[in-house]
Structure 1
Amino acid sequence: MLINNKLIQHKGLDWVLRCANKEDAAQLTNLRLKIDGETENLDRESGEGFLSKEDFQKIINEDSIAERNIFLVAEVEGKIVGFARIQGNTLSRFKHKAEFGICILKDYWGYGIGSVLLENILMWADYYTEKSLKFS
């Protein structure tokens, strides 16, 4: 699932909300390692569940064609500073469930990036839910 790029201006910071692409994979690998070491609010410590550039490329490719997944990034001046991903369940009895996460570099906390990422994931989920109900 893809969304159009959006320029966000909030609290003196201009940034772009967009879908991840395969060229982001190396940045995402390094970003995830750094973010995991900046906070204890995530489920893993730095280095745990490591995702390589190739792992991210595979995830991004799968998410770009999957109907129940979306992978968003927050970009400031060409640098990814955060991301959010939601993965829907493919099992018939669990189609109503999804897992998601949001990660933002500590230097960019307080700019509303997490709120915008969450808002867009929820809008996407609402859209997908309405679409599914129409065709079920």
Structure 2
Amino acid sequence: MRIRRIRGEDAEAFLHLQRQLDEETSFMMLEPGERTESAEATAQRICDVVARENHTILLAEVEDHLVGFIEAVGGRWRRNRHSVYLVVGILEAYTGKGIGTRLFEEVEAWAAEKGLHRLELTVMTRNERALALYRKRGFEIEGVKKDSLWVDGEFVDEYYMAKRLG
């Protein structure tokens, strides 16, 4: 398994990974079939990511097959450029194999290299596997978003979580 930065030529495979994640878990934001972005639009989004100093997407590959990712979306303004919002997804067949830990190690190293100070994310309160990983990586719960999402016919709360670097 290797972790690497996304490239323009990853657009189709990355879109496929995201759609597969939408299908196999209710913990991602989009429902199955809701991701309508084309491969061309994904390629443009990747170009936009690569162009920003405080934004990146790291990919987890196993035998040249994308199995997970972590995206760090940096603040756009002077007052929040030091913060990045994280989105992470790992295919079900590859969970519990240390990939999440490696993705977080790499994104934290990238953030430190860029002089960033704060990593933040939201997570459904019932996503125990993700919560365990985030806590292990030093993230703390800062608040609760009540009835934040509508998932499988019910309202779901989310935790705001963050980790300060250095």
TM-score exceeds 0.5:
yes
For residues 63 and 91 of structure 2, the distance between their equivalents in structure 1, rounded to whole angstroms, comes to 14
Show the counterpart of 1:101: 87
Deviations 1:58-108 (A, max 9, x none): 122122221111111111111111111111011122223221111111111
Provide the C-alpha distance between the structure 2 equivalents of 1:94 and 1:49, rounded to a whole number of angstroms.
Answer: 28
Aligned CA-pair RMSD: 1.8
Consecutive unaligned residues of structure 1, counting only runs of 5 or more, are: 1-14, 131-136
Distance 1:126 1:39 in 2: 31
CA contact (8 A) 2:19 2:35 kept: no
1:27 partnered with 2:13: yes
Is the 2:58–2:103 contact (alpha carbons within 8 Å) kept by the matching residues of 1? yes
More strand by share: 2
Residue matched to 1:40:
26
Q: Which runs of 5+ in 2 are unaligned?
A: 117-166
Post-superposition offset of 1:49: 4.1
Q: For 2:59, what is the secondary structure of its paired residue?
A: strand
Normalising by the residue count of structure 2, what TM-score does the alignment of the two structures yield?
0.64
Distance 1:48 1:86 in 2: 22
**Is contact 2:3-2:106 (8 Å) kept?**
no
Give the match for residue 82 of structure 1.
68
- Return the alpha-carbon distance in structure 2 between the equivalents of residues 17 and 85 of structure 1: 12
1:63 equivalenced with 2:49 (yes/no)? yes
Count of residue pairs brought into register by the alignment: 117
Question: Do structure 1's residue 129 and structure 2's residue 115 form an aligned pair?
Answer: yes
User: 2 CA distance for matches of 1:55 and 1:45?
Assistant: 19
Structure 1 runs of 4+ with >3 Å offset = none
Q: Which amino acid aligns with 2:18?
A: R
